[in-house]
Structure 1
Amino acid sequence: MLRQLYIRNYTLIEKLDVGFENGFSVITGETGAGKSIILGAIALLLGQRADSKAIKKGADKCVIEAHFDLSKYGMQPFFEQNDIEYDDTDCIIRRELTASGKSRAFINDTPASLSLLKELGEQLVDVHSQHKNLLLGKQDFQLDVVDIIAADTNEITAYRKAFTDYKDASARLERMKEEIEQNRINADFLQFQFDELDNARLTDGEQEELEQKTTAMSHTEDIKTALYETDSSLSQDGSGAVDSVKTAANAINGIADIMPEAKALYERLDSCYIELKDISGEVSSMLENVAFDPSELDSMNNRLDKLYDLEKKYRCESVAALIQERESIRTRLDTIENSGFMLKETEDEVNRLRDICSQKAGILTEMRKKASAKIETHLLDNLASLGMPNAVFRIILEPCPFNANGADKVAFMFCANKNGTIQPIYQVASGGEIARVMLSLKAMISGAVKLPTIIFDEIDTGVSGKIAEKMAYIMQQMGENNRQVINITHLPQIAALGKNHYKVLKEDTPDGTVSHMLRLSQQERINEIAQMLSGSDVTEAAINNAREFLKL
């Protein structure tokens, strides 16, 4: 729960450092004194986006820091999962804004993203501002209330997995139907394409081989000339390189007996002779085999033209890609041929997943029905104590198509008067009636969720007198069992029942207007409630009434 709040240079607040305790606390102050500013600062701590305009005029930096006691709420797993140091008695959340527009957030001095700050904030504080009463007319909010009381988180998770599987399978089925229909329309054309590619007798690597052969055949004369000149240079009688090397080898061998080093030279020349003779033989053989066949060249060029045309037609860059395209068309033709079986198989899978989804949605529905009955009973009891003994409240669950939240449509129906017609609550309930309903729902939710801190911003709007006092008693009960409830109020009946009382006031200084927040002493509290009762002119009668309110 919130133990300490520190604010520096935030709008009208130059410096605020105030401590809080558990139980039910109240905050009072005149309209415009700065209560909403404090709520705005807390909202920044809970991950709301920042605006540099919120920095106090003349300051270069704004700091908002809160200390929380988490010792009774089992929140260590959150910190371990996010690699943040954990101190259950002093969790520090800090937000810093600079005039240049930069914003930084920290959890226990570890830098944190706004999304992480928001995730933690949602587990620490629930701020119920006046505009949140509008949520009562929203179906999503109504369903959330029912689900919280039903404690069906695990069942919702299981249902959503089943729903996702069913939705994905249904999408696959629709795609398959569209593809099958399109393939049936294109079946004749697909068969023509397959036959054309299949009849082409495509072979991977054929194109490269043909291109090499046609290039060589197109240069036959150049090849023959080069081979002829090489053959003549090597094997011409009397002057060819082969005979010349042989003659040189024999000559040097003739002096090997009288000049020992000549023997090595002979061996080297003899080796050259053998190699040249071998090369000469290969060149002669190649020269005999070189021939130009115009018909063969035409045949190869025609084949290449065919391959090039197919590649252009099917937008492929190689024969391998053409083969891949042929196999793709074959697969589509096979799909058309087997489409009935495949469609039936997928339809069976969709039906199976729909049954699973329906079964899990049914479990949710039953849990929500039980929770709805519990909510109705609790709410009517509370509304009776809040001056609405004839109120009628019903939660209607109607079936609807599967969606991410199940197969239930929720409606909160209400009638404040005896024998009246129940209608959707937000169409018929007054502001004061909605405030009482929302407080009763929040009381139930706080017991189920165990939120450490709940802040109400004038939830008592539209009520007064005994009803306000009853609302205060409900907030007192909510503040029990290690919870903290803080209510911003203008009603003395509620302010008097707070365990702790804080006042927000505005002061004009030479440097401008500033807001302060003070924790009131017993006497200051008497004076504040007396002022709330009588206005600025506090009378002795108002003081006595304040003492009665405080039961002093």
Structure 2
Amino acid sequence: MLTQLSIKNFALIDSLQVEFDKGLTIITGETGAGKSILLGGLALILGKRADLSSLKDKERKCVIEAEFAVKKYKLKDFFSANDLDYDDQTIIRREILPSGKSRAFVNDVPVRLDVLNALGDQLIDIHSQHQTLQLTDNQFQFQVIDTLATITDEVFSYQELLKTYQTTQKELKKTRETQADLEKEHDYNMFLLKELEEAKLEKVVLTDLEAQYERLNNAEDIKTNLSASEQLLSDENVGILNLLSELQVSSGKLANIAPEFDSLAERIKSSYIELDDVYNEIMNLQGDVEFNPEQLEEISGKLQKIFDLQKKHNVLAVEELLAIQAELSEKAQISESIEDVILAKEKELSAISKQLKEAAKIIHKKRSEGIPILVQQLEKILATLGMPNARFNIKAQLTDQFYTNGMDDLQFLFSANKGGNFNELKKAASGGELSRVMLCIKAILSKYMQLPTIMFDEIDTGVSGEVASKMARIMQHMGKSMQVFSITHLPQIAAKGKQHFKVYKQDINEITTTHLKQLHEEERVQEIAQMLSGAKISDSALANAKELLKS
């Protein structure tokens, strides 16, 4: 419910602040007084795009703020889904800056226009004679029937099941595409996998293998250098060990002569022991070194195979080849088991399809039972609104297709005249007739569900007298369970409001501004009397206005 509205620097409005109550609120005013400006301001709050032409003073920003009581609308999930702070008294603010930029806020949290638009749809429904497309929308027609048939919960459950069905369909399609891709690549992948498995990479340490290759490949050089080293150490005449032995004898004699030579003798002794140990190791190494062409060829082949694989797969390490091998192995396993996955998905999809069909049949049955109730109520109310020959032909035909709200094709046909042919609403009804049909539908829906605030913008165009009075009573009755606004030129409707506001213009210092004023009882009498008789109010018009307000 809209409880407060504040508009600053918008179109012809300099500053306006007003509070609204529940029930039927009437807004009147002369043509051109600015009622459309008021609706334009509300449209911005509901997410309509804005531009600089909205600013009254191009140097100041335009601010429109509306407060809504939203407790009855069950919007906590919507607020949570859009990261908004929920409050039972929600404030929506729209700002248009002199630069042309626009900002929107819900409870001081910035929001995108699409979110504001989605929220606005659940708060206010602005309806005029020229805005009847919703009535001809198939989804809206389903909503009306489902509300009367009290199957909104069943339809919601069906929709949740349909989401699961569609998700499973997508998964099955993706799995089949994967199978097709795997089949295309299967033979080549298996060749690559076999090639990697035969290389037995799990046991390979590349650095060790390369070291073995270098040792075998250079066996002759190793043996030659070891032999030369042995000769240098052990030659009888000039061998290092023999010379060092003689040096050791000399240093020992020096140590016997004076203690200061002890250290030198010890160092020479240590050098002899170390080189003697080196000599023994060289002798052992010479025994280990042998030229083995077969082993060299084997290791060379293995290294070449690894290098070829690295080049083929564009990697630098054995670990990367092992990762590719694991991936190919996984693909091979998937390829072998994917048929079972597809069969399982098909079985799952079939089971969901069966559930959907059963749910759709229940929905169809209840819709078929609810349609006559809707037709009876619509035709009854329309008869009181000057359309006694209005007839509806509404049918829900069960199909084999899964739609968003069941498996029904809906035929919503209308005939306004006696003996006339049934046709689609938009073809069979005039603008005024569509407005009355919409009023009837909204009135019926208000008995079954909590509707957002509805604003009828001159929906009464083209009617008068008793029909206008009946329309007024319908709106007045709707106002008992919801908030209803009616922008009207008809005194019969104006008199039925719980609140009455007048839109008017003022010229001050050659500047025109639009204002909105709530009328007290005597002012209402004057306003309705003026609507009855024109600018010159007669006594009979005043008396008639008082009578209308009492009825």
Q: TM-score range by the shorter chain?
A: 0.7 to 0.9
Shift of 1:423: 2.2
1:330 equivalent among 329, 332, 335: 332
Cα distance change on mapping 1:289 and 1:56 into 2, 3 Å: farther
Shift of 1:176: 4.3
Deviations, residues 248-281 of structure 1 (Å, cap 9, x unaligned)? 799699979x979979x99999888877765665
Partner residue, 1:65: 65
Contact 1:502 1:517 in 2 (8 A): yes
Cα distance change on mapping 1:141 and 1:345 into 2, 3 Å: same
Contact 2:193 2:325 in 1 (8 A): no
Q: Structure 1 counterpart of 2:473, which letter?
A: Y
Deviations, residues 489-523 of structure 1 (Å, cap 9, x unaligned)? 22232222222221212334446432111122334
Contact 2:179 2:335 in 1 (8 A): no
Contact 2:47 2:120 in 1 (8 A): yes
Q: Structure 1 counterpart of 2:332, which letter?
A: R
Give identity over the alignment, percent.
Answer: 40
Shift of 1:133: 0.7
Cα distance change on mapping 1:177 and 1:453 into 2, 3 Å: closer
Partner residue, 2:447: 447
Partner residue, 2:359: 360
Q: Structure 2 counterpart of 1:447, which letter?
A: K
Corresponding position: 1:489 with 2:488: yes
Partner residue, 1:421: 421
Structure 2 unaligned spans of 5+: none
SS at match of 1:164: helix
Count of matched residue positions in the alignment of Structure 1 and Structure 2: 545
1:137-148 alignment, distance < 5 Å? 137-148=136-147
Corresponding position: 1:29 with 2:29: yes
Aligned counterparts of 2:287 and 2:381: Cα–Cα separation in 1 = 113
Q: Which range moved further: 65-74 or 510-519?
A: 65-74
Aligned counterparts of 1:245 and 1:358: Cα–Cα separation in 2 = 106
Q: Structure 1 counterpart of 2:32, which letter?
A: G
Aligned counterparts of 2:241 and 2:534: Cα–Cα separation in 1 = 129
SS at match of 1:159: helix
Contact 1:3 1:19 in 2 (8 A): yes
Partner residue, 1:409: 409
Q: Structure 2 counterpart of 1:448, which letter?
A: Y
Q: Which range moved further: 17-26 or 446-455?
A: 446-455
SS at match of 1:65: strand
Shift of 1:477: 0.5
Aligned counterparts of 2:66 and 2:184: Cα–Cα separation in 1 = 68
Q: Which range moved further: 453-462 or 247-256?
A: 247-256
Contact 2:34 2:504 in 1 (8 A): yes
Partner residue, 1:9: 9
Q: Structure 1 counterpart of 2:161, which letter?
A: A
Partner residue, 1:479: 479
Q: Which range moved further: 443-452 or 10-19?
A: 443-452
After TM superposition, the score normalised by the length of structure 1 is 0.81
Q: Which range moved further: 456-465 or 467-476?
A: 456-465
Partner residue, 1:376: 375
Cα distance change on mapping 1:3 and 1:193 into 2, 3 Å: closer
Q: Which range moved further: 299-308 or 247-256?
A: 247-256
Partner residue, 1:431: 431
Contact 2:414 2:422 in 1 (8 A): yes
Aligned counterparts of 2:158 and 2:7: Cα–Cα separation in 1 = 44
Deviations, residues 408-435 of structure 1 (Å, cap 9, x unaligned)? 2323221122343322222211111111
Aligned counterparts of 1:199 and 1:124: Cα–Cα separation in 2 = 70
Aligned counterparts of 1:188 and 1:272: Cα–Cα separation in 2 = 67
Q: Which range moved further: 395-404 or 246-255?
A: 246-255
Partner residue, 1:506: 505
SS at match of 2:167: helix
Contact 2:231 2:239 in 1 (8 A): no
Shift of 1:210: 4.0
Q: Structure 1 counterpart of 2:2, which letter?
A: L
Contact 1:67 1:91 in 2 (8 A): yes
Aligned counterparts of 1:248 and 1:194: Cα–Cα separation in 2 = 67
Shift of 1:193: 5.4
1:233-244 alignment, distance < 5 Å? 240=240
Cα distance change on mapping 1:297 and 1:438 into 2, 3 Å: same
Aligned counterparts of 1:471 and 1:272: Cα–Cα separation in 2 = 123
Partner residue, 2:457: 457
Cα distance change on mapping 1:544 and 1:181 into 2, 3 Å: same
Aligned counterparts of 1:59 and 1:364: Cα–Cα separation in 2 = 57
Partner residue, 1:163: 162
Cα distance change on mapping 1:520 and 1:273 into 2, 3 Å: farther
Shift of 1:486: 0.8
Q: Structure 2 counterpart of 1:334, which letter?
A: E
SS at match of 2:473: helix
Contact 1:253 1:262 in 2 (8 A): no
Aligned counterparts of 1:394 and 1:250: Cα–Cα separation in 2 = 133
Contact 2:385 2:436 in 1 (8 A): yes
After TM superposition, the score normalised by the length of structure 2 is 0.81
Shift of 1:38: 1.5
1:290-305 alignment, distance < 5 Å? 290=289, 296-305=295-304
1:26-105 alignment, distance < 5 Å? 26-69=26-69, 84=85, 86=87, 88=88, 91-105=90-104
Contact 1:380 1:391 in 2 (8 A): yes
Aligned counterparts of 1:495 and 1:133: Cα–Cα separation in 2 = 23
Structure 1 unaligned spans of 5+: none
Cα distance change on mapping 1:544 and 1:203 into 2, 3 Å: same
Deviations, residues 450-485 of structure 1 (Å, cap 9, x unaligned)? 24632222222343332222111111011114x321
Q: Structure 1 counterpart of 2:421, which letter?
A: T
Shift of 1:158: 2.7
Aligned counterparts of 1:242 and 1:182: Cα–Cα separation in 2 = 78
Contact 2:72 2:450 in 1 (8 A): no
Shift of 1:59: 3.5
Q: Which range moved further: 469-478 or 390-399?
A: 390-399
Cα distance change on mapping 1:486 and 1:196 into 2, 3 Å: same
Cα distance change on mapping 1:102 and 1:30 into 2, 3 Å: same
Deviations, residues 378-431 of structure 1 (Å, cap 9, x unaligned)? 222221221222322243212341133322232322112234332222221111
Contact 1:506 1:513 in 2 (8 A): yes
Shift of 1:524: 3.3
Aligned counterparts of 2:231 and 2:48: Cα–Cα separation in 1 = 93
Partner residue, 1:351: 350
Contact 2:9 2:56 in 1 (8 A): yes
Cα distance change on mapping 1:296 and 1:388 into 2, 3 Å: same
Deviations, residues 503-548 of structure 1 (Å, cap 9, x unaligned)? 2123344464321111223343334334434445555555454444
1:168-317 alignment, distance < 5 Å? 168-180=167-179, 203=202, 205=204, 209-214=208-213, 240=240, 281-282=280-281, 284-286=283-285, 288-290=287-289, 296-313=295-312
Contact 2:62 2:97 in 1 (8 A): yes
Cα distance change on mapping 1:292 and 1:453 into 2, 3 Å: same
Cα distance change on mapping 1:274 and 1:68 into 2, 3 Å: farther
Contact 1:431 1:461 in 2 (8 A): no
Q: Structure 2 counterpart of 1:26, which letter?
A: I
Contact 2:48 2:117 in 1 (8 A): yes
Q: Structure 1 counterpart of 2:345, which letter?
A: T
Q: Structure 2 counterpart of 1:19, which letter?
A: E
